[in-house]
Chain A
Amino acid sequence: DAGITQSPRHKVTETGTPVTLRCHQTENHRYMYWYRQDPGHGLRLIHYSYGVKDTDKGEVSDGYSVSRSKTEDFLLTLESATSSQTSVYFCAISPNSGASNTGELFFGEGSRLTVL
């Protein structure tokens, strides 16, 4: 299994509080992603990173920020959590490096967030 660890795995928080989810990889892969998964919507990309300090928005980035200060860690922050951000969040990594792109994403086990 790819070395991806998400923390926390479960969290319940109140509306308006800040929340940070952490994704840690031991594979030294270039790309890291945060997706959210909701019933009826499948997986939607929030943000992704293609290197240290290099990040870009996905299709549902509003209300989220990310940081990647080192290769192995990709943090997802909800500055002020809302009930609409109740979801299961998945981190994924990819070794894609352009010419040698294998295309495959490896996923973590998910972080279930409930915002009351």
Chain B
Amino acid sequence: SQQGEEDPQALSIQEGENATMNCSYKTSINNLQWYRQNSGRGLVHLILIRSNEREKHSGRLRVTLDTSKKSSSLLITASRAADTASYFCATDAFRGGSNYKLTFGKGTLLTVNP
């Protein structure tokens, strides 16, 4: 079963607006990552936030993590039509050894209208 669940499933906004997507997960994590997928392509890593971090920025991306609520949010500021894609959160519970693996949510489809 999915560890992360994104909300909303779909989001449609106008260019220039901010887009916020949320991710909830069930068990304790080591880190949480966000990925982007353009239609028909593979996933591309956007940002990683560790369990001891609360907020992280990368360009127009801002990620927050609340481990007490087991939730994260991805904010894309000043959105562009090129930001249209599906966005996935992924978690790992890695504690060493040989079992490093990510569990992905079902994704949020973001549409940015020109």
On A, residues with C-beta under 8 Å from B are 31, 33, 35, 40-45, 48, 50-51, 54, 56, 58-59, 90, 92, 94, 96, 98, 101-110
Contacts and interface: CB of A to CB of B under 8 A. Distances in A.
B24 to A, nearest CB: 14
B100 A110 contact: no
7 contacts: A41-B2, A42-B2, A42-B88, A43-B104, A56-B98, A94-B100, A104-B45
B31 A56 contact: no
B101 interface: yes
Interface residues of B, number: 28
A51 to B, nearest CB: 8
A110 B38 CA distance: 12
Contacts of A45: 101-103
B96 interface: yes
B41 A48 contact: no
Given A42-B2, A109-B42, A103 B99 contact: no
Interface of B: 1-2, 31, 33, 35, 40-45, 48, 88, 90, 92, 94, 96-107
Interface residues of chain A: helix, strand, loop or mixed (majority) = strand
Nearest 5 interchain pairs by C-beta: A107-B42, A42-B106, A43-B104, A50-B98, A96-B100
Given A90-B42, A90-B43, A98-B96, A41 B101 contact: no
